[in-house]
Amino acid sequence: MAREITFMEEPHAAAEVRKILHPLVAEWFFRKFDDFSLTQLYGVKTISDRKNILISAPTGGTKTLTAFLGIINYVVGLALKNELEEKIYAVYVSPLKALSNDIFVNLEAPLSEIYDLAKERGLEMQNIRVGVRTGDTTVSERAKHARKVPHIYVTTPESLAIVLTTTKFVENLSALEFIIVDEIHAMANKRGVYMSLTLERLCELSLIEPVRIGLSATIAPLEDIARFLVGEGRDCLIARVKLMKKIDIGLISPAKDLIEADSIQSQKELYKILDGLIQDHKTTLIFTNTRAATEKIIHYLDLHFPGKYNELIGAHHSSMSKENRFEIENKLRKGELKVVVTSTSLELGIDIGNVDLVILLRSPKGVARALQRIGRAGHKLHSNPKGRFIVTDRDDLIECGVMMKGMIENKIDRVDIPKNALDVLAQQIYGMAISKIWRAEDMLKMIRKSYCYADLSEEDFFAVVSYLAGDYALEHRHVYAKIWYDATSGEIGKRGKTARIIYMTNIGTIPEEGFISVVISAPVEKRGQIIGKIDEAFLEKMKRGDVFVLGGHKYQFIRSQGMKAYVIADVSKSPTIPSWFSEMLPLSYDVAIEIAKFRRLVKEKIENKKKTLDFIKEYLYCGDIEADQMYDYLSEQAKFSEIPTDKELIVEKFKSDKEYLLFHSMYGRRVNDALSRAYGFAAARLKHRDIEVGINDNGFYLAGEKLDENKILDWVKAKDLELILKEAIETTDVLRRRFRHCASRSLMILRTYKGRSKTVGKQQMHSHFLLAAVRKISNEFPILQEARREVFEDVMDIHRAKGILKDIENGKIKVKKVRTPLVSPFGLNLILQSHADLIRMEEKLQFLRRMHKLQMGIIESKEGNGKE
Amino acid sequence: MEIKYIGKTLLIEDSGERVLVIGDLHLGYEEAMRTNGILVPSGIYEEIVREIELVFDYLEKKRKKVDKVVLLGDVRHEFGRILKSEWKEVLDFLDYLKEKIGKKGEIVVVKGNHDTMTVNIVKKKNIEIVDYYIWGGLAFLHGDKDFDVVYDKDIKYWVMGHAHPAVVLQDKKSVKKEKYKCFLVGKFKRKEIIVVPSFFPIVEGSDVTGLNGNELGLAWDFKLGSFEVKIVEGEESLETLDFGRLNKF
């Protein structure tokens, strides 16, 4: 099907835009604003002309009003002619739940002001109704919507999917004219996949083809986002609005010598710098990436400057209660806080007022994310956003430097939108079957209109239908079939009287993450005390004997049961596991490649110090101190081993307690995750032993008793990658956890059933069982397949990993093996902080027998000692 | 008297008679899950039969005829009303056992906490369900309740289920972690105690490390640290491995 995705070259002229406005709307607009914003010049007329458009503009633009203005203009025109019908003209979808403020400013206030103006002018005007429905909307409000049809309907993706199964309400959507998708950049995930199908359903039931309007912050690639917005076979214009905003940005290294960055002196220096920056600005927002770091910064600011920040500082992160977060947001908007420290939770949405400086402590791991964060400063239209990177180690320094370059040169890293997600598909097919009886081929045709399912295979589609129809349950079909499928007539319909209730109460794609209570089991006097919560992913990383920090105290992990972790309190050993690991953001592939390229450019001239320093300063737009530090770091690596680049993959081998192979694969965490497991699997297979692997954004290592690097490197071939990984992930925690999420999304595990909700703990327990049972039935069960896809494509990046392997095979990337006496400077962070996991090769039974021998050995030697 | 550990089961021989002891079965588990909104594919019953068949095959090879089978309770899973599949699976399983042990053989069902209405099913096969069963110097119990008679001085052994004991083994150096079903064998009030793992497949049970009897839901607060652990190899093997005392883990 022909479709065109076109970038708009020029905005419309102001006079042209003005011409299309109804005189009353124009009068209202120019009473309130001096002129159209650039975004409005791009968008308003395009929308009025009924063309699909994706508007990408940095935060602080006037995107939401742009989207609404054309629509307001149209419905006001109708209302003045008394031609307003009882139907929904426009649907506005936003992933944010707390959007009432935004909607008031950009929709409700304009409408009521125009209404007042009409009165003033003595004009008759029908009332234009706005209906808001989110998860928090009360039953009585919903009933009101059913009685009095709102003309503009504001909702979330989940609530929209629910109303699509309500026969009565759907009638109101049968001549829908506009769909607005706000914050579309935040939907490059399963929630967005889900929404893309909901939009197709919406279009399918509307007799006219609604115009689609997407609003996005800076994101790439815009062509893909546009396709994602409009679906297959439809045209879309893209407005890339370059606001006149200049970013004021800088890179700060808190210590002369970053190797000592953890020392007390440099910590002191860090807080001095923070305090200075905060004092020089009105309101400062600090991003720290993790919850733990957020708490730590607040604690230490208070420690270094007692009393100074008491009432003027606030924390904001996702594990705080909704009320507490709301309070902080309010205070921020009112200007009552001097500084707010946040993990990532303030990246999105809601207007947060007059922040004039954003500090990025540690790398934000992607250019788009960095821009988004810095855009939080100067949210007001005409002020320039201002941001500072503060780095914590030398990897961080180079990473932030490269990212800053990307921001200045507008090189945005690309996002990937999940394709062919079978769990989301299952939920949607169920929803569709609830609405009406479908012909399977029509259903598939409609699904394939979504960008996310354009190449969905018939086989996968029918596998999901079979699952929903209960085919995998064999003789128990009647018990849990959700739909019926009649192969002769080719028709699909719902099963069971409670289908709609099950659907409504279990809809959604955001997995519930479990929190594990940490309970003291020793010493005895503290036994049973609950000291706090950790998340599931973190628990999965722990083994018996590990020491971790929670709430400023150290605990030793003994065992877990259900949703409880039992620990020993008052331990003096050092932590063995960093508590922030599970929250780490992965470095984007594009930034990683830029770092590798930067390394190459430096490597080419490293012999000449002055030339190198000049190059660094010019290339990364940074100062002398930072350039010096980068030079030192790179030349240390050059002397000790060799600098890895985008064209040379350095593999170092060294021996300490075991043999280590360290791959300096600068491809970002998701690619490294895939590569490390493949090479780890090779090493394990060759020796028939489990191999430890550790990964971070910059590389990975394998550790084992004896490693043959030549054999290991030869064993992994691009064409086999998928097969290797399929075997390598089969017994991992990550597959198990993703399976639980997929089982819940595909309604295999109903979170709410017969009026009762299941705790995450229950879900987890059941999913463990379910996975084992599913495997016994079929290893190709669609929901298990989906969990694998999620691990391959969303957690890892199997496609780019394959590309790297191909480049190694065709010589574009050279692999160089280097022996080092110990870990090289570039490898240090990897060994110290990486996430260690295991490639399991040893069968469960073999492991038991080996452990048995070991245990017997211990017992005998103890008994032996006793006798002496 | 001789006690043999055969996979997840016990074979006890005394005065020419042989008793096969089978732990918690939780038949009907899948349907119970489905009625809770969890869509489990079927196959557990078939797995249970396959696994018990391994035991009978082994005994046949050794020419050891079983005279009695003692089920240690929680034959079915759902507490309340009897589910359709429970009717079918419990009756099928009893028929299967009958066929294996012959006409003269006897099946004893000890009542578990899940067995509120199991009596209605087993009576169809003329089998009684009992709170405990005394045979020679042994008392077979489910484990959730205490009974005065079991303290009789002629009773040397208490054999029970209910706790689903399992242990987690970890490799010190690496991050490998695996869970195994196990027997717990120890002493309490001068009785020999044997806690039998659940026969239920797929789920191993509760990690007992660091816990005492009450914490496992047993009626007695056994000091499990001093109990010997016998790990069930599982899969196709019927071996068990001695791992010494639990507190030495």
Region A694-710: what's the mean pLDDT? 91
Record the pTM: 0.84
Q: For residue A842, is pLDDT > 70? A: no
Ramachandran angles phi, psi of A250, nearest 5°: -155, 165
Search chain B and give the residue with CA nearest A746: B39
Contact B40 A692 (CB under 8 A): no
Vertex A733 angle, CA A764 and A760, to 5°:
20
| A chain contacts of residue B243, beta-carbon cutoff 8 Å | 852, 855
Percent of chain A with pLDDT over 70: 89
Full DSSP string of A730-746: TT-HHHHHHHHHHHHHT
* pLDDT bracket for residue A276 (50, 70, 90): very high
Contact A476 B42 (CB under 8 A): yes
| A chain contacts of residue B208, beta-carbon cutoff 8 Å | none
pLDDT for position B100 = 94
Contact B244 A769 (CB under 8 A): no
Contact A777 B43 (CB under 8 A): yes
> Which of A423, A478, A480 to mutate to probe the B interface, most B CBs <10 Å?
A480
Q: Say how far apart CA A274 and CA A277 lie, in whole Å.
A: 5
Neighbouring-strand partners of residue A564? A517, A561
Region A166-184: what's the mean pLDDT? 93
Region A766-775: what's the mean pLDDT? 82
Residue A753: which H helix or E strand, with range?
strand A752-753
Residue of A362 and A809 predicted with greater confidence? A809
- For A558, the closest of B39, B210, B244 (CB atoms) is B210
C-alpha dihedral sign at A324, A326, A331, A335: positive
Full DSSP string of A421-455: -HHHHHHHHHHHHHH--EEHHHHHHHHHTSGGGTT
pLDDT tens digits, residue range A603-635? 999 999 999 999 999 999 999 999 999 999 999
Q: Say how far apart CA B212 and CA B221 lie, in whole Å.
A: 6
- For A847, the closest of B44, B176, B203 (CB atoms) is B176
Q: For residue A260, is pLDDT > 60? A: no
Interface of B with A (CB under 8 A): 30-31, 33-34, 36-44, 47, 85, 168-172, 174-178, 180, 202-203, 206-207, 209-210, 231, 233-235, 237, 241-244, 248
| B chain contacts of residue A860, beta-carbon cutoff 8 Å | none
Q: For residue A473, is pLDDT > 70? A: no
Using an 8 Å Cβ cutoff, are A350 and A182 in contact? no
Say which DSSP state A108 is in: I
Contact A521 B43 (CB under 8 A): no
* pLDDT bracket for residue A719 (50, 70, 90): very high
- Structure tokens, A631: 């030079």
Contact A473 B42 (CB under 8 A): yes
Q: For residue A193, is pLDDT > 90? A: yes
pLDDT for position B171 = 67
Using an 8 Å Cβ cutoff, are B33 and B40 in contact? yes
Say which DSSP state A667 is in: S
- For B180, the closest of A476, A561, A848 (CB atoms) is A848
* pLDDT bracket for residue A32 (50, 70, 90): very high
* pLDDT bracket for residue A248 (50, 70, 90): confident
Q: Say how far apart CA A257 and CA A394 lie, in whole Å.
A: 9
* pLDDT bracket for residue A257 (50, 70, 90): low
Q: Say how far apart CA A213 and CA A52 lie, in whole Å.
A: 6
Q: For residue A650, is pLDDT > 50? A: yes
Q: Say how far apart CA A324 and CA A53 lie, in whole Å.
A: 37
Percent of chain A with pLDDT over 90: 54
pLDDT for position A480 = 67
Q: Say how far apart CA B224 and CA B216 lie, in whole Å.
A: 10
pLDDT tens digits, residue range A297-352? 888 888 889 888 888 998 888 767 777 888 888 888 888 999 999 988 888 766 67
Region A499-506: what's the mean pLDDT? 86
Contact B235 A766 (CB under 8 A): no
Enumerate the H helices of A560-668 as residue ranges.
589-603, 609-620, 624-640
Q: Say how far apart CA A371 and CA A385 lie, in whole Å.
A: 9
Q: Say how far apart CA A582 and CA A596 lie, in whole Å.
A: 25
- Structure tokens, B237: 């093997």
**B77 to chain A, closest Cα gap in Å:** 14
pLDDT tens digits, residue range A525-580? 888 888 777 777 677 667 677 777 776 677 888 877 767 888 888 887 766 665 55
Residue of A301 and A46 predicted with greater confidence? A46
Radius of gyration, CA atoms only, chain B: 17
Lowest-pLDDT range of A130-139, A412-421, A717-726, A823-832: A130-139
Contact A476 B85 (CB under 8 A): yes
Search chain B and give the residue with CA nearest A763: B38
Residue A219: which H helix or E strand, with range?
none
Contact A770 B171 (CB under 8 A): no
Q: For residue A275, is pLDDT > 80? A: yes
Burial grade of A594 (CB within 10 A; 0-12, 13-18, 19 or more): buried
- For B42, the closest of A474, A560, A692 (CB atoms) is A474
pLDDT for position A854 = 75
Do the bridges between strand A491-494 and strand A483-486 make them parallel or antiparallel, or are there none, so unpaired?
antiparallel
**Other C-beta atoms within 10 Å of A833: how many?**
15
Contact A845 B231 (CB under 8 A): no
Nearest C-alpha neighbor of B83 from the set B29, B162, B125, B38: B29
Region A109-138: what's the mean pLDDT? 91
* pLDDT bracket for residue A478 (50, 70, 90): low
**Residue A476: partners with Cβ closer than 8 Å, 6 or more residues away:** A470, B30, B31, B34, B42, B85
From the centroid of its chain, how far is CA A724? 27
Say which DSSP state A187 is in: G
| B chain contacts of residue A476, beta-carbon cutoff 8 Å | 30-31, 34, 42, 85
Residue of B78 and A51 predicted with greater confidence? A51
Say which DSSP state A779 is in: T
Using an 8 Å Cβ cutoff, are A783 and A746 in contact? yes
**Other C-beta atoms within 10 Å of B145: how many?**
15
Side-chain-facing half-sphere of A420: CA atoms under 13 Å: 18
Which overall architecture, per CATH, does domain A5-240 show? 3-Layer(aba) Sandwich (3.40)
**Residue A669: partners with Cβ closer than 8 Å, 6 or more residues away:** A584, A586, A587, A695, A696, A697
pLDDT for position A78 = 96
Region A849-853: what's the mean pLDDT? 76
Contact B39 A480 (CB under 8 A): yes
When the candidates are 3.60.21, 1.10.3470, 3.30.310, 2.120.10, the CATH number that belongs to B2-248 is: 3.60.21
Q: For residue A16, is pLDDT > 90? A: yes
- For A559, the closest of B41, B210, B241 (CB atoms) is B210
Q: For residue A843, is pLDDT > 90? A: no
| A chain contacts of residue B244, beta-carbon cutoff 8 Å | 855-856, 859
Contact B233 A845 (CB under 8 A): yes
pLDDT for position B174 = 45
Search chain B and give the residue with CA nearest A777: B41
Lowest-pLDDT range of A75-84, A191-200, A206-215, A854-863: A854-863
Name the most confidently modeled range: A290-299, A726-735, B83-92: B83-92
* Mean pLDDT value across chain A: 87
pLDDT for position B189 = 92
* pLDDT bracket for residue A868 (50, 70, 90): very low
pLDDT for position A582 = 52
Helix A733-745 to helix A760-777 angle (10° resolution) is: 100
> Which of B29, B38, B181 to mutate to probe the A interface, most A CBs <10 Å?
B38
Using an 8 Å Cβ cutoff, are A234 and A228 in contact? no
pLDDT for position A96 = 80
- Residues in chain B predicted with pLDDT less than 50, given as ranges, are 174
Region A90-106: what's the mean pLDDT? 82
Residue with the two structure tokens 């080419």:
A604
Instruction: Please report the ipTM that was assigned to this predicted complex.
Output: 0.72
- For A859, the closest of B85, B231, B248 (CB atoms) is B248
Lowest-pLDDT range of A486-500, A567-581, A796-810: A567-581
Contact B43 A772 (CB under 8 A): no
| B chain contacts of residue A558, beta-carbon cutoff 8 Å | 209-210
**A95 to chain B, closest Cα gap in Å:** 28
Name the most confidently modeled range: A307-316, A805-814, A843-852: A805-814
* pLDDT bracket for residue A692 (50, 70, 90): confident
